[in-house]
Each structure stands twice: as C-alpha cells, then as structure tokens.
A = this chain, B = another copy of it.
C-alpha cells in the first residue's frame, strides 16, 4: 500500500484526500444504511495497453494527479448536495481539458488528421439523455451533450448541426488546432505507416482505447453517467463509436445503475454494453458486480472485443471490470478519500 497527501484543489474545499492504489473490482460493497445513500463518484480515463514496464514514474504521477483532481471536483459538488449530473459533468470537463486522456484536448486524430469528438450524458432519475458526435470545435463535448439533453428536444446531434447548436447555447468554441497534440499526431503517423505495411501499430504503452467517463450517486439518491472521447486513432472520417450512444457507452437509471464504457466501440454498440448491465440487474436479478463481470468478461470477451466499464449501482456499489492490461480509474465516496488505480493487479489497500 502506498498513500500520500494530495494538495487541496478547490479554494473552498481544503479537504485533504488520501490516494491509494486500489482495484475497484475487489472493493467490498457499500452496505445500504437505510438512510440517505452515500455519495459516490467513479471515473475512468480509458482502458488499454497500460503496463508498468512502459510507464514512467512521471507519467504515472501526472495521470493519478489528474484523476484525483477530477474526483475532487466532482466530490466537492456532491458533498455540497449538488446533483449527480453536475458532478459527472465537472469531473469529465477536467479530464477533457487534459492532454493525458483521449477526450477533448487530448483527442486522437482520425485518418484525415482531424479530431472528431463524441460525448454523452444520462440522468438516471428521468432517463433523459443528450449526446454529440463527430464535433470538431466544441471545447467540452460533455457540456454540449448536457445542453442537448436540457435545451433541445433531441438526444443526439452530430457534426456541424451539433456545433451550431453548442455555439448558440453559449458553449466555448475553439479552433480545431486547439486539439492538436504532438504525441497524438505522431501516433496517427505510426498508425498510417503500420496500415500501409499491414501490421499492428506499435503501442508504446499508450492508451490505445482511451476515453473518459464519470458516474455519480448524489445525496438524493440520483444516478448519472457521462462519457467523452476522441475515438480511435486513424478512424475513418465520420466514424462514431459507443461513447455518444446511450445504452452502448453510457447509461444511467435510478432503478439499477450507472455505467460508462471504454474500449472497442463497435463491440460496445453491438452488445449494448452499458444498458446490458442494467438489464441483467433488472430482468436477471443479478447484483451489480456479477452483471458487470458477465458483460465484460463473458459477452465482450466472447465476441472478441476489448475494453472495460465502470459501474455504480443505486446503493453505491462499484464495479470496474476490464479485459485489457489496464484501465485508468478512480473513485471517491462520502469519506472524501480519492482512490486511483491503473493496473489489473492493484489490490484493495484500505
């Protein structure tokens, strides 16, 4: 076990949080106390070829610090009786603004050398949802997704129509070069060279399947889920993965759970990964962890897909199964302790 103190990030919230290396999967279930539910926030920063031998201490620290910052931002909202939706949006915006993750500022490049972003958000209390796909000028796609949910009669807007809508609603618009990142550009060039040579692109320990997501359970017992991504390096122009698809990459329902996915989006769409966890709970009577494991370790793996999910049920139980070498993830509950994990072998340490 390693524990260290994290700096207070929000002026008003000088809560000192401890960071532990913990596997979500092995965390014990929260015990429903009969009173109000324990506020909970769970995030991920992508699943993929994450392994210790390819990770530098500096990179690892930067990623864990950013995950912690996102957890703290969301937790501050939940602690002050803010909504699950607000917490999800705030956490994801921090991850979108960081070049460390494949969403917003760190988005990968499509085969045409563009950053095409997708995001979605869902409210477990009302089953309302919003999403944007294939947008290139919206700084924080998760906020555009939320605006679609709350300020339009639609659920999914794509391309220039979505960008126009976001601009009309006063969201921050940036020039496409805002999303430029040299590492991601180099990654595209390697992918293109590999494509020409018909070999698998070298991974260099990168998060090949990166995406970010957040789930929250607020003091009123409401669940929310959100996901944001730059998609796949070298993806075809116009390709949309699971992240903006309600039921595939994102789902929330107060009756069951909230889920956000990361991985090979095509498999997540074909398997309705996010909603399937909820359906297994509601119709199959499974507890959260069993349902989440079945979806990833049996159904996704069985079909040949890779990736992972974070899942949070209405009682505050957490699951985070993945079939990749690693998944960036973190969570915080009522005690305010922020936890992060990256590898599959991280043990419970609290």
- Asked if B238 and A158 make an inter-chain contact with CB atoms under 8 angstroms apart, the answer reads yes
For chain A, which range describes its interface: under 10, 10 to 19, 20 to 34, or 35 or more residues?
Answer: 35 or more
Give CA–CA (A158, B238) in the complex, Å: 5
Copies of this chain, count: 2
- Asked if B283 and A270 make an inter-chain contact with CB atoms under 8 angstroms apart, the answer reads no
Chain B residues whose C-beta falls within 8 Å of the C-beta of A156 in the assembled complex: 239-241, 245, 269
Cβ-based interface call for A309 (8 A): no
- Asked if B238 and A161 make an inter-chain contact with CB atoms under 8 angstroms apart, the answer reads yes
- Asked if A161 and B237 make an inter-chain contact with CB atoms under 8 angstroms apart, the answer reads yes
- Asked if B157 and A159 make an inter-chain contact with CB atoms under 8 angstroms apart, the answer reads no
Given contact pairs A157-B238, A275-B279, enumerate 17 new A-B contacts (beta carbons under 8 Å): A122-B270, A129-B270, A134-B159, A153-B266, A154-B235, A154-B239, A154-B266, A155-B265, A156-B239, A156-B241, A156-B245, A158-B158, A159-B238, A161-B238, A246-B270, A246-B272, A283-B284
A contact set with B: CB distance below 8 Å: 122, 127-129, 133-134, 152-162, 164-165, 235-241, 245-248, 265-266, 269-272, 275-276, 279-280, 283-284, 303
User: Can you pick out 24 interface pairs between chain A and chain B where the beta carbons lie within 8 Å of each other?
Assistant: A122-B270, A127-B271, A127-B303, A128-B270, A129-B269, A133-B240, A152-B236, A153-B266, A154-B235, A154-B236, A154-B239, A155-B265, A155-B270, A156-B245, A156-B269, A159-B159, A159-B238, A161-B237, A164-B237, A245-B247, A246-B248, A247-B248, A276-B279, A279-B279
